């Protein structure tokens, strides 16, 4: 059936300005790292993308290697784009990245101009897009001059392959240098994509200050600690969960009794607020004004609905913030 997006799709989503740029991003964006690959069912992927867009999620985040197998998430998105989203291209922000291993030989990963430009072309072909909105250097490369990697991003933007440039998982110092090089080249660094959640707070140690100083936006990945910061694992490891699957980085051994005890306490606090834990974990991240968007993953439309439900109550009192700190420190 031809997809007709919900007419009220822009009524409840919150859009936040990405740093000092002209671009607004939805406070909640959808990442296609897991559950959109060749091993997954396209119809579930379609249902999630449709539900997300119906809820005002205009931003879909990909990378060359998402799958498994690598590249297949972009291929699936390409099918969904062609069949469902093509008429709405100008309402969408699609991103991709290069930097992790994608093809054999010395040019299939890291930060050379050769890798970034070739990978961007491959991503565009897989997705059937003329351009991506944001193209990222997926990780810093200790061996390639930063000038070369940033020069490649600048070229990718100037050649029309992307509208904006971004970086992911760069340290505060690397971010400052990258921003200065890109500014000099005339293609400002739009955004940084770091990991951030209640269980992983490295960005609080300098990166967020650098982003505020540089006027860059931030979109944070794994905000729910890959599902740990939800009620998903409170009663064991469900068969259809990420931790039960043979691929990916969330393993059963990461779900420790110590973490689960904290999750249970956080879950109680969320319930007192009339929220799910996923909603509270997202509200906690959005308390930081420098963070533009929370980049969630999902395995069902219901999870996306739950996550967007966070917007109904984003305020956290001093008492609640202190309780969260106590639980995390316990
Ligand atoms: P999350 O921390 O949001 O984890 C997503 C998982 O949590 C889902 O697959 C699901 O697990 C579970 N989940 C989500 N919502 C709910 C809910 N409401 N209730 C219960 N469980 C829920 O993020 P990801 O780790 O998936 O990362 C998000 C995105 O960030 C990626 O898709 C990718 O775009 C980007 N990313 C970027 C990286 C980078 O290096 N730049 C690295 C990693 C991710 P289940 O499948 O078990 O149902």
pLDDT tens for 80-119 read 999 999 999 999 999 999 999 999 999 999 999 999 999 9
**In this structure, which CATH number among 2.102.10.10, 3.90.45.10, 3.20.20.100, 3.30.70.2190 belongs to the domain 15-227+284-313?**
3.20.20.100
pLDDT greater than 90 at residue 37:
yes
Alpha helices in 193-256 (DSSP H): 207-214
Name the residue at shortest CA distance from atom 5 of ligand 1. Answer: 297
Share of the chain above pLDDT 90, in %: 99
- Integer angstrom CA distances of residue 73 from 8, 34, 36, 79, 95: 28, 8, 5, 10, 12
What is the residue whose two structure tokens read 């799958």? 67
Is there an atom of ligand 1 within 6 Å of 222 CB? Answer: yes
The number of the ligand 1 atom at minimal distance from the alpha carbon of 238 is 47
pLDDT greater than 90 at residue 13:
yes
- What average pLDDT does range 161-179 have in this prediction? 98
The number of the ligand 1 atom at minimal distance from the alpha carbon of 193 is 41
> Rg of the chain over CA atoms, in angstroms?
19
Name the residue at shortest CA distance from atom 37 of ligand 1. Answer: 221
Query: What pLDDT sits at residue 1?
Result: 80
Name the residue at shortest CA distance from atom 44 of ligand 1. Answer: 221
Cβ neighbourhood burial of 87 (10 Å; 0-12, 13-18, 19+)? exposed
Name the residue at shortest CA distance from atom 31 of ligand 1. Answer: 31
pLDDT greater than 90 at residue 320:
yes
C-alpha 181 to ligand 1 mean position (Å): 32
pLDDT digits (tens, 9 = 90+) for 299-310: 999 999 999 999
Is there an atom of ligand 1 within 6 Å of 194 CB? Answer: no
C-alpha 242 to ligand 1 mean position (Å): 9
Share of the chain above pLDDT 70, in %: 100
Query: What pLDDT sits at residue 248?
Result: 87
Is there an atom of ligand 1 within 6 Å of 33 CB? Answer: yes
């Amino acid at each position: 059936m031809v997809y007709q997006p919900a007419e009220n799709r822009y009524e409840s989503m919150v859009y936040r300005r990405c740093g000092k740029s002209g671009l607004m991003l939805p406070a909640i964006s959808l990442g296609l790292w897991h559950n959109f690959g060749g091993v997954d069912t396209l119809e579930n992927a379609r249902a999630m993308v449709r539900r997300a867009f119906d809820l005002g999620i205009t931003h879909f985040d990909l990378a060359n290697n998402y799958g498994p197998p690598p590249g297949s998430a972009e291929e699936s998105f390409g099918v969904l784009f062609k069949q469902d989203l093509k008429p709405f291209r100008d309402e969408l922000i699609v991103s991709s990245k290069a930097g992790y291993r994608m093809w054999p030989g010395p040019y299939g990963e890291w930060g050379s101009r050769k890798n970034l430009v070739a990978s961007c072309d491959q991503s565009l072909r897989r997705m059937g897009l003329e351009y991506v909105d944001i193209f990222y250097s997926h990780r810093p490369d200790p061996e390639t001059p930063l000038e070369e990697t940033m020069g490649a991003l600048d070229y990718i933007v100037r050649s029309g392959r992307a509208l904006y440039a971004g970086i992911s998982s760069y340290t505060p110092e690397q971010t400052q240098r990258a921003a200065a090089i890109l500014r000099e080249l005339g293609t400002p660094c739009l955004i940084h994509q770091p990991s951030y959640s209640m269980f992983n707070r490295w960005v609080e140690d300098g990166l967020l200050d650098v982003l505020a100083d540089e006027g860059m936006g931030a979109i944070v990945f794994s905000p729910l600690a890959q599902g740990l910061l939800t009620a998903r694992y409170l009663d064991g490891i469900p068969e259809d969960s990420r931790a039960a699957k043979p691929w990916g980085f969330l393993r059963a051994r990461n779900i420790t009794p110590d973490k689960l005890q904290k999750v249970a306490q956080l879950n109680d606090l969320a319930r007192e607020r009339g929220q799910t834990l996923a909603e509270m974990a997202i509200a906690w991240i959005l308390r930081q004004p420098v963070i533009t968007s929370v980049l969630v993953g999902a395995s069902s439309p219901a999870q996306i609905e739950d996550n967007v439900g966070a917007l109904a109550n984003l305020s956290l009192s001093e008492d609640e913030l202190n309780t969260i700190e106590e639980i995390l420190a316990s």
